[in-house]
Amino acid sequence: MFYCRINNHLKGAFDILRLGFWYIYTHTHTHNCVLITSLFSFKLWMGAHPKGDALIKDNRISQRTLGQWIADFPGCLGSKVKDTFHGQLPFLFKVLSVKTALSIQAHPNRELAARLHAQFPEHYPDNNHKPEMAIALTQFEGLCGFRPMDEILGFLKNVPEFRALVGNEAAEELQSADGDPGRTSLALKKCFTRMMNCEKKLFVDQLNMLVKRISEEEAAGKDTSGSNGELLLRLHSQYPGDIGCFSIYFLNRILLQPGEAMFLGANEPHAYLSGDCVECMACSDNTVRAGLTPKYIDVDTLCEMLNYSPAPVSAKLFPCVRDNADPCVYLYDPPVPDFTVMRVQIPVSARQYTVSALDSAGILLVIDGEAVATSAAALSDITLTPGSVLFISANESVSLQQPCKSRLIVGLGQRAAPVSRFGSV
């Protein structure tokens, strides 16, 4: 049995999250199935990162972590992944249930990650980059990337408290950039940095004034959308007096429906606000934060590293592609080698479905439905229900009997084809 890493600082939406208990089985050429479980959690890690390595608890094998087990049997990763990522599982799978907003943050590229880890290992625990993808399980709300220029300039005009933190000089410089990408990027960086570094008394006073004004306008029945009033009041109620509340005037507000995704590359500012999602990311825990958090913040690093390229919300949605070989499979294939994600929707008519052997290790999560899983590596049949998880080594297939309209999400080290197949018996 494995116990997976759980983070309780995250305030989960218990009424939304249905995947209470988690079960993970590992399949290898040299060992039979090993059960992995964890308690109900707000944030569940599924992987082998040193900070949250799953612990094997099984009387058939000596106690060790998943990372140690992979080190002993690196062939489970598949030869391509093993060679490319030096015998390490290259991705980390998570399930998040977010009720209270998570921090304004970004993740470093490889070069910056190595430098931060060398200088501040207590805050940046590894030297890897951390591109990540969030796939909505329920309606999922977040902030992602800088808004189009006209939206930011509109807030600078209509929200005087926001303009007071940016300053007239920086605001006018942004307005005069006149669409030139280079000038716009530099001016936007100046505006954001000015705001994030303003004196605490100034931003607390301005925030209190803004909250008072919006509250009075709402009480009078006025429309506060021009000040992003509803979100501002919500964030202030969660993090009173926090400079991160003003980030909503710089960053896109994105609302994902179940199955929709956003991909967050290096240096992309973002925050998760509410809802449930599955995350897949490079195997790293490097996060640079600067607001809406009680954790360590590094404002200077964040302001220096960010991608200051304005773009609309539509540019932040990451599309999935239906797999040509299997109409049940939808692929999320980001521009990084560390991972690919598949969403599998099995029709009610299918009585049997096979997740074919891949040349990469994968983690399979059951979202809906029930099935009985069989594998050549398993000692016995495995009953799967919502919340069940399988860690499947390379070159192992899993057959699902009576899948009952199941919905699955699979994270892979690298994509292989064919992915899977189904049939009726």
Binding residues for Zn(2+): 105, 107, 132, 270
Instruction: Considering the candidates 147, 289, 407, 415, report the single residue annotated as catalytic.
Output: 289
SS3 (DSSP) at 280: strand
- Is the Cα dihedral 375, 376, 377, 379 positive or negative? positive
* Residue 383 · residue 370 · CB < 8 Å: yes
All residues at 6 or more sequence positions from 198 whose CB lies less than 8 Å from its CB, including other chains: 165, 243
Task: Pick the closest to residue 334 from 90, 23, 139, 122 (CA basis).
Answer: 90
* Residue 81 · residue 414 · CB < 8 Å: yes
What is the C-alpha R_g of the chain?
23
The rounded distance, in Å, linking the Cα atoms of 351 and 401 is: 6
Which ranges in 159-308 belong to alpha helices (H)? 160-166, 168-175, 181-196, 200-219, 229-238, 299-305
Strands 140-146 and 270-282: antiparallel
The rounded distance, in Å, linking the Cα atoms of 331 and 348 is: 21
Residue 335 CB coordination number (10 Å): 8
The rounded distance, in Å, linking the Cα atoms of 23 and 372 is: 14
Question: Where are the extended beta strands (E) located within 40-86?
Answer: 43-46, 55-56
* Residue 102 · residue 275 · CB < 8 Å: no
> Is 289 a residue of the active site?
yes
The rounded distance, in Å, linking the Cα atoms of 203 and 250 is: 15
- Is the Cα dihedral 182, 185, 189, 190 positive or negative? positive
Strands 2-3 and 34-38: parallel
Tell me the two tokens of residue 360: 């990469």
Query: Tokens 């001016």 correspond to what residue?
Result: 187
The rounded distance, in Å, linking the Cα atoms of 126 and 58 is: 29
The rounded distance, in Å, linking the Cα atoms of 281 and 299 is: 23
Rounded alpha-carbon distances, angstroms, from residue 21 to 42, 86, 379, 386 = 11, 32, 22, 9
Active site residues: 289
